[in-house]
Amino acid sequence: MKHANFAFFIPHLGCPHRCSFCDQQTIAETKIPPSPAEVAAALSEAEALPGAEIAFFGGSFTALPSKLMLSYLEAAAPFVGKNGFSGIRFSTRPDALSAQTVSLLSRYPVTAVELGAQSMDDRVLALNERGHTAADVEEAAKRVHAAGWSLGVQMMTGLYGDTPAGSIETAKRLIACKPDTVRIYPTVVLPDTRLAKRYLAGEYDPPDLEKTLPLCAELLSLFEAAGVRVIRLGLHASPEIEKTMLAGCYHPALRELCSGYRLSQKIKTLLSGQPEGNYTISVAPADLSALIGHGGKWLQIFAQEGFRLRAEADRRLIRGEINLKKEGDHAAQRA
Ligand code: SF4
């Protein structure tokens, strides 16, 4: 199988402490990081799609002891330009990208750095024991740009002490850092974390799926409008998370649910003031499964209000566009 990206998980390696919500071993379903020799062995057998990157995720790559960080880079670098790989990307903490580290990394074919920002509110960062500030994110983002690497940012919603308005503000401040990509992770309360203790003590009530959908739909729209590619929304589907999570917002197809929610809001606007009856909704082919999937959840909501909707794909529409036509009418409405 050819890989889009070839990711190595290095759970918690380099992290100076555990942030209150984090358990990478559960998230990545792996406890032991590969050795540099194992990285080289895996890459020598890998086949990647053109443009794929070799990725190190799940820890704080640039906070590793420099000998180990360099060993990983030495193991990966010879494969860039071979087997389809175009470069190396990794995630790290915003306070672990000093000018000295950047200059060390510049000797290797690094193409992208993802900064775990999580929030741009210093109060929320402190409450969740991140150990860095929003200014650290802005400073690290400037260094990534100056080095000529692609910048990725990661943010969370529903953290302890955060609000939906706070998340929107975080998104706006992150957009001002001019990232190329973003990953959005609603908080999931995992056992044996300090956040779990707060939850079990009744000090923290994390937003669930229903509460998080409108916020994530708004974040999607904000980032897309700013030209920032949303490369992930929600944790990867994981039986381990499903089995062990205590609370929070998790769904294996969260992005599609958010897209369906966004389309449903547009349909709601188009239907407002319209008589009950049968309607045909046309959407771009790429939007159809978001609209009719999940047991027809979105269409059922309208059916309960007397609007029976038949959804179809129309190749002339672009993603997010909707045509609405009442049965028997010739004219359509578009949003
Ligand atoms: S959130 Fe990032 S820095 Fe914090 S413990 Fe997890 S991997 Fe380490």
Q: What is the pLDDT of residues 102-125, one digit of tens each?
A: 999 999 999 999 999 999 999 999
Structure confidence by residue, pLDDT tens digits, 143-191: 999 999 999 999 999 999 999 999 999 999 999 999 999 999 999 999 9
Total residues found in the chain within this entry: 335
- 321 within a domain of the structure (yes/no): yes
- Beta-strand relationship, 85-92 and 52-57: parallel
Same domain, 141 and 208: yes
Helix (H) or strand (E) holding 231: strand 229-233
Q: Would you say the CB of residue 22 lies under 6 angstroms from ligand 1?
A: yes
| Protein residue closest via CA to atom 6 of ligand 1 | 22
| Dist. CA 331–CA 302, nearest whole Å | 21
Same domain, 179 and 69: yes
| Å from CA of 128 to ligand 1 middle | 11
Same domain, 329 and 298: yes
Same domain, 138 and 212: yes
Q: What is the pTM of this model?
A: 0.94
Same domain, 224 and 179: yes
Same domain, 319 and 244: no
Helix (H) or strand (E) holding 235: none
| Dist. CA 122–CA 129, nearest whole Å | 10
Q: Would you say the CB of residue 18 lies under 6 angstroms from ligand 1?
A: yes
- 326 within a domain of the structure (yes/no): yes
- 262 within a domain of the structure (yes/no): no
Same domain, 234 and 289: no
**Ligand 1 atom closest to the CA of 17, numbered from 1:** 5
- 308 within a domain of the structure (yes/no): yes
- 260 within a domain of the structure (yes/no): no
- 265 within a domain of the structure (yes/no): no
| Å from CA of 12 to ligand 1 middle | 6
320 has a pLDDT exceeding 70: yes
- 327 within a domain of the structure (yes/no): yes
Counting the structural domains of the chain, the total is 2
Its domain, for residue 80, covers 6-252
Which has the higher per-residue pLDDT, 24 or 290? 290
